[in-house]
Chain A
Amino acid sequence: MIWVFIGALANIGFILLAAPLLDGLERKIKAWLQNRRGPPIPQTLYDIVKLLRKPGGLTGNPGLLYRIAPYMFFTNMVIAFLFIPTLLDYSLSFIGDIIVVYYLITASSIILAMGSISTGNPFAITGSTREISLSMAGKLLTGITLAIFVAVNKSFLITSLFPIIPPYRLSSILGLIVFAILVYIEGFRLPFDIPEAEPEIAGGVIIEYTGRDLGFAIYSLLLKRLLYTSILLNLVIPRYTVFSPIYYIVGVIVFSILFSTIECFSGRHRIEYALSFMKKLSLATGVVLVLAVLGY
């Protein structure tokens, strides 16, 4: 038990460092693909460290909710990582913990949105309603995908869900593909970074946060992105081997490269287009779920 704790804590330590570095990597790759030199890889880390050293800002008439939202978001994300094996194979898992992770993610976006709305800035509110709309559609998709995995594995223990293959089934492979798309969408990458769309709502959800608050909000968003990637990786890479840390690191980097390349060559969707895309994807995934339940 104690080793599990230590392992999980080590995981969190690794994640806290890895999330900004991976973002730096993505920025570098995007820069290369846009024929630019781009910032150095630790740039995101520098940015966050710089932000964390500055005082936060109070705007409008925000109250406690606004102040604690970034911190709540951050702790929620860190706690979510307790249940997901990342670098090491240790995690504090139990039946139904995937629902807990799911709710932690929902809670984080809800709380950030509430904090943001409480400033009263129409940009922030527009961004927040977009964020929540997307999150609702995303949760539908997440739910269906999870149901596929549960139906295939007949279990609710995350550790027993990882890795999903074997058994190799049509539905589990399709489910993985949908989940990869979902990971892409939930990672607020183009064309789905609508809640923060710079041209029209200038940052949206995080528009009013500055300094330390902003640092934590951005850090948490990066953690959320990595959290999704980690869940996806856990579904595909073999666990409980000596090489699993290596598999993990390689996997994370591969997905970063892949996702940033895709992101580089896409424009931003309008919110209702993104939503209807997710709706269609949900319907398709529903069919996959039927397959999974039927045992294919």
Chain B
Amino acid sequence: MDLNTIFYLLIPSSLIFLPIIALFRGKTSNYIVHGVSITVSIIIIILSLYVLASGSTLDFTYKICLDYSYPILSFKVIHFRLDSLSAFFTLVLGIVSLASSIYGIGYIGRFYGREHIGWYGVNYLLFIISMYGVLTTYNLFIFIIFWELMTLSSQFLVSYEKNKKQALWAGYKYFCVSKLGAEMIIIAGLVLMIIYSGYNVDYEVVASRFRELFLRTPVIANAVLMLLFMGLGIKAALVPFHNWLPDAHPEAPSNVSALLSGVMIKMPIYMMYRLFYQFSQPTIYWGVIISSFGVVTLFTGTLYALVQIDSKRLLAYHSIGQIGYVVLGLGASGTLYAMGNYPLAFIALLGSMYHLINHALFKSLLFLTAGSVVYRTGLRDLNKLSGLAKYMPLTALTALIASLSIAGIPPFNGFVSKWIIYISTFCAGGYLAFYGLFALFISSVTAASFVKYFTTIFTRSPFEPGSYKKLEEVPFPMSLAQVMLAALCILFGIVVVIPLKLITSAISLLGLNIIQYQYISFGIGFIEVNNIGVNSPLFIGFILAIILPILYILIARPRYTSYGIWSCGTLVKEGLLHYPGRSYFRGFKEVFSEAYTVGKAVHEVLGVTSINYSLKFFKKLQRIIEDPVAMIVLTLVVVLLIIWAVGW
């Protein structure tokens, strides 16, 4: 069986498992779904690695036999293609879904007897498959179908704990807002189709038509682009369309949160890459718009994350912030590309993609560790959690690695990608230099926020002594998943060549040719020595900076004397030495309140109104659906529209 066949069979064969999973309950269902999803993930990883390494594409079409006289169904084939850009994203999907599936084996045990595991299984598998579908389809119509499937299944996962009012509300909100975004995409697609009355929406066709449209009526083209961008932006939780995310992501089971934050919000980014590099040429104003969205997003998201006291909510806000970096890189590259500065455009895109994969790694790891804490303690409140490192050393270590990665501490992976983004923005000068320094400032805010996240949960002593007596490390599958991702975080930080190779092969598809713009000429230090591995003195230095102290402690085992905590000579009971999460960085928040005021304006006025608007819209829709007369009228309108479209 060659890889093309596997690619061909992957979606239909895994769909077969859905009813089987739905049949079972409890443990069996858990094992089946995770077994299937692990297999699927491994296959996805193999496929994408193959594509990225060989530079070839996997391609197939499902032939659909329909009456060709109906123009709307005249796309004839359902085209799937795994090119290197898709492969890069499927690789991300594969890695994260592998980890979260392994993790899920243990984690879903929480819900035995409380919730329907089969229901989870169906949605979980469907979620992965639909994301895979979104990435591999080569047809806008199919894209939308998978997109909606993805939204639907993830919405059920968000409100999986059906007895929790909060979860139901979050799922509802998430669904409504996502639906609004999807409508925008659909409208844009319809406009494209209708204006051209050609009903083939294969990406290649779309691309060529788009370019034509740009030449002929740039206003309409830009409007379509705007609609698509906004539709995607809602799903990617760009500020000000982000308000649903901090509610939705924390409410899902933690391994699903990892997928949601690690992968799902990258789906629109994937489409944006295609949109701006394949379907259209980047223009300066689009570059400015996108990078501005990026900066506002990273600024607002991260500053809000700084003041969160719910562990998963904090992580969710950071997802917004980190997506901002990715979008900033995309926008910067767009501007630079339009200005003709291809080398820097390449570096910016490199940084954007590098950060994307890094974010997928460390954010899903962080969600998994937060999930482990929930698994053992049932708590997400940073005011109450404390001192878990003693009981869950492995979780603590992986959380530390992830925290340092997202904080951009060398030599972990977050540092490299952020560094590349800074280089491109700073060297570009102009408005991008401003954006770059905002990003630089925000990275220290991120660091501060993760000092809070890590230290409140894991260090110090337990808040209520004795309350954690039965606490122990999480079961093997969960820690395995964590260790896997942590190892990748370190690997991608130190052996930079591997991800860079993967990314360059993905970028080459977008028209920025690697051969032409070698890194060497821009002196990205660690690659300039040779292509084999890490030889840069910088990275040797970094590794020494981390390794030497650890070795010193582990091997030399310096003598220590033990003391009680110095609290002015009195014996203070352990639990009372409590520093709740909300007290961190109070002064900073007070002084930089202007930033928060601006953030609040964006966050609440724009964010909440857009949410409210969409909710209102759906309420109305609901009322219409409930009203038989309106329903009949609507059906008639739709039928008429279809008739008109089909061309009768």
Q: How large is the interface on B (under 10, 10 to 19, 20 to 34, 35 or more residues)?
A: 35 or more
For the complex, give the distance between the alpha carbons of A81 and B550 in Å: 21
**Contact B429 A151, beta carbon cutoff 8 Å:** yes
> Hey, what's the 0/1 contact readout for A76-103 against B, CB within 8 Å counting as 1?
1001001000000000101111011011
Partner of B454, one of A68, A79, A114: A114
Q: A211: which B residues are within 8 A, CB to CB?
A: 561
Cβ distance A118 to chain B, nearest Cβ, rounded Å:
3
- Identify which of residues 167-211 in chain A touch chain B, using a CB-to-CB cut-off of 8 Å: 202, 207-208, 210-211
Quick check: which of B85-93, B173-181, B541-549, B625-633 contacts chain A, the rest being far away? B541-549
Q: B644: which A residues are within 8 A, CB to CB?
A: none
Q: B541: which A residues are within 8 A, CB to CB?
A: 79, 82
Whether A121 touches B523, Cβ cut-off 8 Å, given contacts A64-B553, A136-B445, A150-B433, is no
- Asked if A247 is an interface residue, CB under 8 A from chain B, the answer is no
- Identify which of residues 34-90 in chain A touch chain B, using a CB-to-CB cut-off of 8 Å: 55-65, 67-68, 71-72, 74-76, 79, 82
**Contact A151 B561, beta carbon cutoff 8 Å:** no
For the complex, give the distance between the alpha carbons of A274 and B415 in Å: 28
For the complex, give the distance between the alpha carbons of A202 and B389 in Å: 27
**Contact B562 A57, beta carbon cutoff 8 Å:** yes
**Contact A103 B587, beta carbon cutoff 8 Å:** no
> Hey, what's the 0/1 contact readout for B387-408 against A, CB within 8 Å counting as 1?
1011000001000100000011
Cβ distance A161 to chain B, nearest Cβ, rounded Å:
12
Partner of B460, one of A60, A96, A100, A147: A60
Partner of B415, one of A58, A95, A103: A103
Q: A121: which B residues are within 8 A, CB to CB?
A: 565-567, 577
- Asked if B579 is an interface residue, CB under 8 A from chain A, the answer is yes
Quick check: which of B34-42, B356-364, B365-373, B588-596 contacts chain A, the rest being far away? B588-596
For the complex, give the distance between the alpha carbons of A71 and B555 in Å: 14
**Contact B459 A207, beta carbon cutoff 8 Å:** no
For the complex, give the distance between the alpha carbons of A102 and B566 in Å: 33
> Hey, what's the 0/1 contact readout for A133-167 against B, CB within 8 Å counting as 1?
10111011011101100110010110000000000
For the complex, give the distance between the alpha carbons of A55 and B445 in Å: 35
Q: A232: which B residues are within 8 A, CB to CB?
A: none
- Asked if A237 is an interface residue, CB under 8 A from chain B, the answer is no
Cβ distance A13 to chain B, nearest Cβ, rounded Å:
16
Q: In terms of DSSP, what is the predominant structure of the interface of chain A?
A: helix
User: Interface centre among A126, A136, A293, by most B CB within 10 Å?
Assistant: A136
Q: B617: which A residues are within 8 A, CB to CB?
A: none
- Asked if A129 is an interface residue, CB under 8 A from chain B, the answer is yes
For the complex, give the distance between the alpha carbons of A134 and B495 in Å: 33
Q: B443: which A residues are within 8 A, CB to CB?
A: 106, 139
**Contact B545 A144, beta carbon cutoff 8 Å:** no
**Contact B553 A143, beta carbon cutoff 8 Å:** no
Whether A55 touches B565, Cβ cut-off 8 Å, given contacts A65-B459, A139-B441, A144-B437, is no
**Contact B427 A79, beta carbon cutoff 8 Å:** no
Partner of A156, one of B426, B461, B591: B426
Partner of A147, one of B423, B426, B523, B559: B426
- Asked if B285 is an interface residue, CB under 8 A from chain A, the answer is no
Q: How large is the interface on A (under 10, 10 to 19, 20 to 34, 35 or more residues)?
A: 35 or more
User: Which residue on A lies nearest to B589, using beta carbons?
Assistant: A133
**Contact B523 A275, beta carbon cutoff 8 Å:** no
**Contact A57 B434, beta carbon cutoff 8 Å:** no
Cβ distance A130 to chain B, nearest Cβ, rounded Å:
7
- Asked if B334 is an interface residue, CB under 8 A from chain A, the answer is no
- Asked if B78 is an interface residue, CB under 8 A from chain A, the answer is no
**Contact A208 B455, beta carbon cutoff 8 Å:** no
Q: B468: which A residues are within 8 A, CB to CB?
A: none
Q: A212: which B residues are within 8 A, CB to CB?
A: 558
Partner of B558, one of A56, A104, A208: A56
**Contact A114 B459, beta carbon cutoff 8 Å:** yes
Q: B562: which A residues are within 8 A, CB to CB?
A: 57-59
**Contact B587 A133, beta carbon cutoff 8 Å:** yes
Partner of B537, one of A92, A104, A207, A276: A92
Question: How many A-B contacts if CB must be within 8 Å?
Answer: 234
**Contact A275 B592, beta carbon cutoff 8 Å:** yes
**Contact A95 B549, beta carbon cutoff 8 Å:** no
Q: A257: which B residues are within 8 A, CB to CB?
A: none
User: Interface centre among B387, B390, B545, by most A CB within 10 Å?
Assistant: B545
Q: B461: which A residues are within 8 A, CB to CB?
A: 60-61, 120
Whether A129 touches B549, Cβ cut-off 8 Å, given contacts A117-B459, A118-B455, is no
Whether A136 touches B588, Cβ cut-off 8 Å, given contacts A60-B460, A62-B459, A63-B389, is yes
> Hey, what's the 0/1 contact readout for B499-543 against A, CB within 8 Å counting as 1?
000000000000000000000001111001000000001100110
- Asked if B279 is an interface residue, CB under 8 A from chain A, the answer is no
**Contact A154 B587, beta carbon cutoff 8 Å:** no
Cβ distance B173 to chain A, nearest Cβ, rounded Å:
32
User: Which residue on A lies nearest to B526, using beta carbons?
Assistant: A94
**Contact B544 A94, beta carbon cutoff 8 Å:** no
Partner of A279, one of B408, B523, B592: B592
- Asked if A119 is an interface residue, CB under 8 A from chain B, the answer is yes
User: Which residue on A lies nearest to B429, using beta carbons?
Assistant: A151
**Contact A139 B567, beta carbon cutoff 8 Å:** no
For the complex, give the distance between the alpha carbons of A56 and B548 in Å: 18
**Contact A272 B590, beta carbon cutoff 8 Å:** yes
**Contact B525 A65, beta carbon cutoff 8 Å:** no
Q: A110: which B residues are within 8 A, CB to CB?
A: 407, 409, 447-448, 451
**Contact A75 B549, beta carbon cutoff 8 Å:** yes
- Asked if A18 is an interface residue, CB under 8 A from chain B, the answer is no
Q: A125: which B residues are within 8 A, CB to CB?
A: 455, 579
User: Which residue on A lies nearest to B445, using beta carbons?
Assistant: A136
**Contact B423 A95, beta carbon cutoff 8 Å:** yes
- Asked if B331 is an interface residue, CB under 8 A from chain A, the answer is no
Q: B560: which A residues are within 8 A, CB to CB?
A: 55-58, 67
For the complex, give the distance between the alpha carbons of A96 and B590 in Å: 33
Q: A281: which B residues are within 8 A, CB to CB?
A: none
Cβ distance A150 to chain B, nearest Cβ, rounded Å:
5
Q: B566: which A residues are within 8 A, CB to CB?
A: 59, 121, 123, 202, 207-208
**Contact B523 A95, beta carbon cutoff 8 Å:** yes
**Contact B419 A103, beta carbon cutoff 8 Å:** yes
**Contact B561 A95, beta carbon cutoff 8 Å:** no
**Contact B440 A143, beta carbon cutoff 8 Å:** yes
Whether A67 touches B553, Cβ cut-off 8 Å, given contacts A59-B565, A275-B591, is yes
**Contact B552 A71, beta carbon cutoff 8 Å:** yes
- Asked if B233 is an interface residue, CB under 8 A from chain A, the answer is no
- Asked if B321 is an interface residue, CB under 8 A from chain A, the answer is no
Q: A59: which B residues are within 8 A, CB to CB?
A: 562-566
- Asked if A111 is an interface residue, CB under 8 A from chain B, the answer is yes
Q: A143: which B residues are within 8 A, CB to CB?
A: 436-438, 440-441
For the complex, give the distance between the alpha carbons of A146 and B430 in Å: 14
**Contact B441 A120, beta carbon cutoff 8 Å:** no
- Asked if B410 is an interface residue, CB under 8 A from chain A, the answer is yes
Cβ distance B453 to chain A, nearest Cβ, rounded Å:
11
**Contact A147 B567, beta carbon cutoff 8 Å:** no
Which 4 A-B residue pairs are closest in the complex by CB-CB distance?
A118-B459, A71-B549, A120-B460, A143-B437
Q: List 16 A-B contacts (CB under 8 A).
A: A56-B559, A63-B396, A65-B459, A74-B549, A92-B538, A94-B538, A95-B522, A99-B422, A107-B409, A110-B409, A120-B460, A139-B443, A143-B437, A143-B440, A147-B434, A207-B566
- Given A104-B545, A289-B433, 7 new contacts (CB under 8 A): A59-B564, A67-B560, A82-B537, A110-B451, A120-B459, A289-B437, A293-B433
